[in-house]
């Protein structure tokens, strides 16, 4: 079995320092890796990234993250990425990484993703150049995620890590009007294009934890305001993906 701790939307700045750390220091006892589903900072500044590095760096388990839309706010995503990588975090954007855990190969494909909406209520590539650019960004984000997942060969378990949502079920609680800005069904299709065991995302602070792709892959919205604790724990190579109450 592989145990994964996951959270998203931690939005770290100076005032958040120390909030997560006591629970993070317990990680080796409850999970084998920590995955963070984007929105690591509030406004994507280098100073905030340093706070994120301080709070989530130097842990006793591997930490794999994707960026979120907030991490792009200051157009400093490459500097933010550098700070996080210097602190030992693995930052994925359209790439995969493999962790060896308890003798198993865990493949993680990560990408921020993008909006666009869901079947029956999604943006279409028609009309103005701006709309075509928007939909083109959704398509490119999903293609990157799918390629990264399919490129992870020889793994015992595959996890997809995004910021934006791949299904509408985990948005339940958010206003319907903003669904197209919270995720895209194309991400769900990308997840279903590989034998993915679990898909994790954040972004939808008022959404719901549990959903499933059309292909049957369990989806979990791990945004901090949704899970209401430092991280939830999920199990792979196990009958039930939910580890039950692991209170931290």
Instruction: Answer yes or no whether residue 144 interacts with Fe ion by CB under 5 A.
Output: no
Decide whether 32 or 39 has the Cβ nearer to Fe ion.
39
Residue 145 and residue 185 in contact, taking contact as beta carbons nearer than 8 Å: no
Angle CA(39)–CA(140)–CA(106) in degrees, nearest 5? 60
Q: Which of residues 37-56 bind Fe ion (CB under 5 A)?
A: 39
- Per CB under 5 A, 68 contacts Fe ion: yes
> Applying CB under 5 A, which part among 47-55, 93-101, 118-126, 201-209 lies near Fe ion?
201-209
Cβ-based nearer residue to Fe ion, 26 or 181: 181
Q: Which residues make Cβ contacts (< 8 Å) with residue 106, sequence separation at least 6?
A: 2, 4, 32, 33, 98, 99, 100, 155, 156, 157, 159, 236
Question: Contact between 72 and Fe ion (CB under 5 A)?
Answer: no
Q: Which residues pair with 106 in a beta bridge?
A: 99, 157
- Near Fe ion by CB under 5 A: residue from 72, 203, 220, 224: 203
Candidates 26, 45, 69, 172; binder of Fe ion (CB under 5 A) is: 69
Stretch that binds Fe ion, among 13-21, 67-75, 121-129, 165-173 (CB under 5 A): 67-75
Rounded distance between C-alpha atoms, residue 130 and residue 206, angstroms = 28
Cα–Cα distance measured from residue 181 to residue 115, given in angstroms and rounded to the nearest whole number: 5
Which chain residues interact with Fe ion by CB under 5 A? Answer: 39, 68-69, 203
């Amino acid at each position: 079995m592989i145990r994964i701790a996951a959270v998203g939307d931690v939005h770290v700045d100076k005032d958040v320092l120390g909030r997560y750390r006591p629970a993070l220091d317990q990680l080796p006892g409850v999970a084998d890796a920590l995955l963070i589903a984007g929105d690591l900072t509030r406004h994507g500044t280098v100073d905030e990234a340093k706070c994120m590095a301080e709070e989530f760096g130097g842990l006793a388990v591997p930490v794999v993250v994707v960026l979120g839309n907030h991490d792009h706010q200051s157009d400093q995503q490459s500097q933010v990425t550098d700070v996080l990588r210097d602190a030992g975090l693995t930052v994925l954007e359209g790439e995969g990484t493999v962790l060896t855990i308890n003798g198993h190969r865990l493949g993680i494909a990560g990408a921020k993703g993008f909006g666009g909406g869901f079947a029956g209520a999604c943006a279409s590539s028609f009309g103005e150049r701006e709309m075509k650019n928007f939909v083109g960004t959704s398509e490119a984000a999903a293609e990157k995620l799918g390629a990264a997942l399919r490129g992870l060969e020889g793994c015992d378990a595959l996890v997809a890590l995004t910021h934006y949502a791949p299904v509408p079920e985990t948005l339940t609680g958010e206003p319907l009007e903003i669904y197209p800005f919270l995720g895209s069904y194309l991400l769900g299709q990308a997840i279903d294009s590989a034998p993915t065991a679990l898909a994790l995302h954040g972004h939808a602070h008022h959404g719901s934890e549990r959903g499933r792709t059309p292909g049957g892959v369990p989806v979990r919205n791990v945004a901090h305001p949704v899970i209401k604790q430092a991280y939830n724990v999920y199990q792979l190579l196990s009958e039930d993906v939910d580890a039950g109450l692991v209170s931290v």
